[in-house]
Amino acid sequence: MNPTPPRERICMLTGGGYPYRRDALSGWCRTLVEGLRRFRFELLTVTDREPPPAPAYPLPLNVGSARAVAIPGAVASRAVIKNESRRERNERRRTEAELGQAAAGLLCRGLIREENDVGRAFADGLRRVAERPSMLLSLPLADALLEAWRTGDDLPRLSMRDARTAANLLRHALGAVTVEVPAADLVHCVGGTTPLLSALGGRWRQGVPLLLTEARAAVARHKPHEDRLSPAVRTVLRRFRGSVARTGYAEAGLIAPLSAYHHEWALRHGAPVDKMVAVPPGADPSEYPGVAELESDPAVVWAGSGGPDSGLSPLLAAFEQVVAAMPGTVLHLVGVTAAHEDYCAEQIERSGLGRAVRLHPLPAERGDRYTRAHVVAHVPGPADPPYRLVEAMMSGRAVVGVDVGPAAETLGDAGVLVQPGDPAELAIAVVDLLRAPARRRALAEAARARALTHFTNDRVVRIYGELYADLAAPPPPPSFELALAVPAPRSEPPVTLRWLVSERQDG
């Protein structure tokens, strides 16, 4: 017998993630989809790489569709004019050239100046591209960048070559705003700039509400593969990401940061405080049962992708000192993705640690990630949300964490925090816990108790169910009220605060 079909349709939009990639953020998305069976999900992931051929996760019955698409390029956009007559084509190109010049000017002035009034200009330019995707071909971005650059302050030199390079990169990135988003009652964007651009395009073309899960690192940080670019081009890309983020905050019905760290960062970048709903990540206690330590040589576990920006390098630098202090200690690297196994193996070989480091692909059972550890070293990359930290705490293992992002607020006093950029301090903290079993086990118990209290999946699912219902439900029927000299008291809070009141009462 088929279950009753859900009323509200949710388009979950990610950037190359769920259900096509197995990582921490994809696991978080999977928790929502499988936990909220009363909603129907349309899954869309947008990537600047070759789309994956098939989902990496089995799809539950409440998933109506799953699609992975690459950012459309200029060739794909030409298809919209191939059947027109020559006169119609020339007229169309003339019109789009004029519209494109105006849109490019708005975009570039907005991302260079980064002021509130100019920021609205950026959103206006972006919306024009979203509503007329074929315009992307005729955007004179290089000329617009050079013109806007003259009005900026404290900017590096922008040459014509830099402007053309930046224009090509911007044109490619803007292709995401032209992606067709499935029909839905709500778009839930999880990720960074690329999925947010697609979500904004869908919102403007279809008029659907937008829920934004804020889980990214600061947009001021450039990506590792951009090191070869000139300072001017990196400045353009950084400000473009910031402008997209601010536009997303302005358009979202609700913004759900993963932590106080993400909350404060979003506020600094223009997110309205009355739209913010902090929802920390969770883990399933049944999947991380908190088993006793193994009787083995001292062992440290680190969980991460293993990529160049994953925190692996400072970890290996610290572990060299751990092995020098405690020979025989083993470091287990779990969760390394297939794409980064070769890089990870190369880094291990360079470190000279040999068999002291064991490389494990992502275990099939989530609870296996931390069971081989006596101590978990949580050394995240700059962009890593705190999912792995919550899992380690739920597993009942003592954690030494690097104080990056939301680590301090997540771990609290249930672990040891060290400063970033100091492998020696990290090594000392790990060795101290390996040599102190009573303190190690006390911290492990405290970490699991804290995770059970504050970071469980059922809490995440419950709150997101309320947020979905608030934003995706059909609007209430129109009503008319008498104008009273003394306003009548409300018997119930506004609908968008239902979850908040219940949270306070539960606490």
Of residues 219 and 37, more confidence is placed in 37
- Alpha carbon separation from 7 to 41, 94, 182, 468 (Å, rounded): 11, 45, 16, 11
Residue 359, both tokens: 């490389």
3-state per-residue secondary structure call for 407-433: HHHHHCCCCEEECCCCHHHHHHHHHHH
Gap between the Cα atoms of 106 and 123, Å rounded:
8
- Cβ proximity of 310 and 384 under 8 Å: yes
Buried b (16+ CB within 10 A) or exposed e, 229-247: bbebbbbbbbbbbbbbbbb
* Per-residue pLDDT, 172: 93
DSSP conformation letters of 150-166: TT-SS-----HHHHHHH
- The 10s digit of each residue's pLDDT in 312-347 is 999 999 999 999 999 999 999 988 877 788 898 899
pLDDT surpassing 90 at residue 488? no
**Cβ neighbours of residue 321 closer than 8 Å, sequence gap 6 or more:** 423, 424, 427, 428
Rounded to an integer, the average pLDDT of 393-413 is 93
Gap between the Cα atoms of 182 and 65, Å rounded:
9
Gap between the Cα atoms of 170 and 240, Å rounded:
8
Tell me the sheet residues that pair with 330.
299
- The 10s digit of each residue's pLDDT in 257-312 is 988 888 888 888 888 999 999 899 999 999 998 888 888 889 999 988 888 878 89
pLDDT surpassing 90 at residue 503? no
* Per-residue pLDDT, 173: 94
Q: How much is the mean pLDDT over the chain? A: 85
Record the pTM: 0.84
Phi, psi for 202 (deg, rounded to 5) = -65, -40
335 conformational bin, left if phi > 0, alpha if psi -120 to 50, beta if neither: left
Gap between the Cα atoms of 319 and 324, Å rounded:
8
- The 10s digit of each residue's pLDDT in 11-32 is 999 998 899 988 778 889 999 9
* Per-residue pLDDT, 490: 44
Q: Rounded to 5 degrees, what angle do the CA atoms 196, 199, 200 make?
A: 85
Altogether, the residues listed in the chain come to a count of 507
